[in-house]
């Protein structure tokens, strides 16, 4: 394909990076399935063109040869590709069998971070969870955010009254286990990081 043809087919998508709660605006140039570039969206009022390296790595995820594009089943002869209906039936049968034998809470569920920034996930997961009825639920929140919520509840009266560091008027800041310049600051992103 010539350069001219590639240019003709080039399209631009404006999207939100769904890898973390900073939800940076991104501009994706692509030619059909082929991603040509991923850049920060300068017109996004929230992120103003900022992205961390994870956003450009979305292309690697998209093009990874090992990326799962359809369900697979582990068999004695290795992984076997199966159809969605078959996969969903098998998963449902497995869930029912475990819960019937060992009780509802014997089934553990882990919800990864991108679920919270995915419209399909947001609309459907609630129904899935309420029909499965297990109390054994784990997530990015249960790993690293619940202590914040508990402290906020006891200190400020509500779990979501989470204090945002006033970076601009801070003289000394010690950060343990985080790098806001790489992660875009998460909750403290907008008010602090770009001034």
Interface residues toward ligand SF4, by CB under 6 A: 17, 19-20, 22-24, 51-52, 54-55, 183-184
List the Cα angle 57/63/69 in 5-degree steps.
120
Q: How far apart are CA 116 and CA 21, in angstroms?
A: 8
**Shorter beta-carbon distance to ligand SF4: residue 55 or 107:** 55
CB atoms within 10 A of CB 26: 23
**Shorter beta-carbon distance to ligand SF4: residue 23 or 162:** 23
Closest by alpha carbon to 14, among 32, 33, 1, 30?
Answer: 30
Provide the minimum distance between the beta carbon of 149 and ligand SF4 in the complex, in angstroms, as a whole number: 21
Provide the minimum distance between the beta carbon of 16 and ligand SF4 in the complex, in angstroms, as a whole number: 7
Provide the minimum distance between the beta carbon of 195 and ligand SF4 in the complex, in angstroms, as a whole number: 17
**Shorter beta-carbon distance to ligand SF4: residue 8 or 186:** 186
Q: How far apart are CA 175 and CA 114, in angstroms?
A: 24
């Amino acid at each position: 394909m010539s350069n001219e043809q590639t240019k003709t087919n080039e399209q631009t998508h404006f999207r939100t990076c769904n890898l973390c709660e900073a939800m940076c605006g991104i501009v994706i140039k692509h030619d059909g399935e082929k991603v040509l570039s991923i850049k920060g969206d300068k017109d996004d009022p929230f992120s103003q063109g900022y992205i961390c390296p994870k956003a450009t790595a979305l292309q690697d995820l998209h093009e990874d040869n090992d990326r799962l594009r359809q369900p697979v089943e582990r068999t004695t002869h290795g992984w076997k590709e199966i159809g969605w209906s078959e996969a969903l039936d098998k998963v449902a049968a497995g869930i029912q069998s475990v819960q019937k034998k060992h009780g509802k809470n014997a089934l553990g569920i882990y919800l990864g971070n991108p679920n919270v920034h995915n419209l399909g996930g947001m609309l459907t997961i609630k129904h899935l969870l309420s029909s499965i009825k297990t109390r054994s639920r784990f997530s990015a929140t249960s790993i690293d955010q619940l202590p914040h919520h508990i402290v906020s509840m006891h200190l400020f009266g509500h779990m979501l009254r989470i204090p945002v560091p006033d970076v601009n008027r801070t003289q000394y800041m010690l950060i343990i286990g985080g790098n806001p310049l790489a992660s875009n600051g998460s909750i403290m992103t907008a008010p602090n990081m770009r001034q």
